[in-house]
Amino acid sequence: MPILDGLDPAAQAAAADVLAAGGLVAFATETVYGLGARADDDAAVAAIFTAKGRPADHPLIVHVATLDDAQHFGDLSHPAALRLAERFWPGPLTLIVPRRPGVGTAAAGGQGSIGLRMPSHPVARALLLAAAARGVRGVAAPSANRFGRVSPTRASHVTDELGPDLLVLDGGDCPLGIESAIVDCTRDKPALLRPGMLDRTAIEAALGTALQAAGPDAPRASGTLEAHYAPQARLRLLDGPMLRSALEVLQGAPVPQGLAVYSRTVRQVPRGITLRAMPDDAGGVAHELFAVLRDFDLAGMRLIWVEAPPPGPQWDGVRDRLARAAAA
Ligand code: TXA
Ligand code: MG
């Protein structure tokens, strides 16, 4: 099946029919594209793991259209969970809460907790509402990429990863460009498991307390594996001054290399290096980051140099994804 216009009601209805029948649909969200299946159907959920090549014990995020549907899958009575859901849903925040017994078992990878998110993107919302009208109260959806790879931020990335047979609801380029922030609300004190573009200062302001860092006893999350979000090429992070001195001594690149920078100080590069000037704000970089890594891969780059992001909580999400890509 093709890439369909995700704002077309007929396409939304067709996609919701596929979900209701236990099939897979990819769809735009404000963060990255998701690969969805109805969360109450273990066989449909199993098909996600097969398509992604992902180990089946990794828990998936269940996407919902309403707070009521969220409450169907999880217990949001923890004050932190309720407050964050009220403040930031719909939006780029996933809450880990205790799972209700007997629901979403396969989606949660058998864990006693479940990850819930109410996306704000009009395509995702329309799909979830159309699915709910067909009795589908939650859509389990990891990012629509092969396991360990960079998440897709446009419809063509999804078909590049998962083949042309999949129905994709196109919503254009994902506005945020990196995955949701994940907050674990199953413990006394909420912990940030994965930073996103909703930054920790905003979450802490809403909570009125500091977030814990993800500890070794935190629930297993594949997005928190060291080597994740990796392009095919090797990726190296260098701060601005080191990058500039490296470029000064380099005569030419022995293999094709890509270079992504935020600062405006690098203007010329040696032969064999392709320069990509990124925006100098975190939101702009996040929006482009995964597409830039993909473009470098497609162009056959063997090595990707990236200027290390500046300090500041607004860069936490970008810094996290780049650190993981560099660790792969
Ligand atoms: O922005 C996003 O969150 C995107 C879009 C599609 O919504 N989804 C996404 O899903 O990034 P995925 O599967 O690639 O990452 C989900 C993360 C994983 O690290 C997973 O292990 C974690 O959420 N997670 C899900 N349920 C969990 C649970 N019960 N306990 C701990 N971690 C959980
Ligand atoms: Mg992912």
Which CATH number is 234-327 given?
A: 3.40.50
* Residue to probe by mutation, ligand 1, list 179, 226, 287, 324, most atoms within 8 Å of CB: 179
Give me the percent of the chain exceeding a pLDDT of 90. 82
The mean predicted confidence, pLDDT, of the chain is 93
- pLDDT of the residue at 19: 98
Dump pLDDT digits (tens) for 67-81.
Answer: 999 999 999 999 999
Task: Examine domains 3-213 and 234-327 and report if their fold is the same.
Answer: no
Mean pLDDT, residues 196-200 taken together = 97
Beta-strand runs (E) in the chain:
3-5, 25-27, 34-38, 61-63, 93-98, 113-117, 139-140, 167-170, 181-184, 191-194, 212-213, 234-238, 252-261, 271-277, 303-307
pLDDT tens by residue, 7-21: 999 999 999 999 999
Q: Is the pTM of this model over 0.85?
A: yes
- Ligand 1 touching residue 186 (CB < 6 A): no
Contact 21, 128 (CB under 8 A): no
pLDDT tens, 268-310?
Answer: 888 899 999 999 999 999 999 999 999 999 999 999 999 999 9
pLDDT exceeds 60 at position 225: no
What are the C-alpha distances in Å from 282 to residues 196, 202, 291, 308?
11, 15, 15, 12
Question: What does the pLDDT read at residue 182?
Answer: 98
Domain ranges of the chain: 3-213, 234-327
Q: How confident is the model at residue 228 (pLDDT cuts 50, 70, 90)?
A: low
Distance 123 CA to ligand 1 centre (A): 19
Topology (CATH level 3) of domain 3-213: DHBP synthase (3.90.870)
Our answer on whether the CB atom of 222 is closer than 6 Å to any ligand 1 atom is: yes
What pLDDT digit, counting tens, does each position of 91-114 carry? 999 999 999 999 999 999 999 999
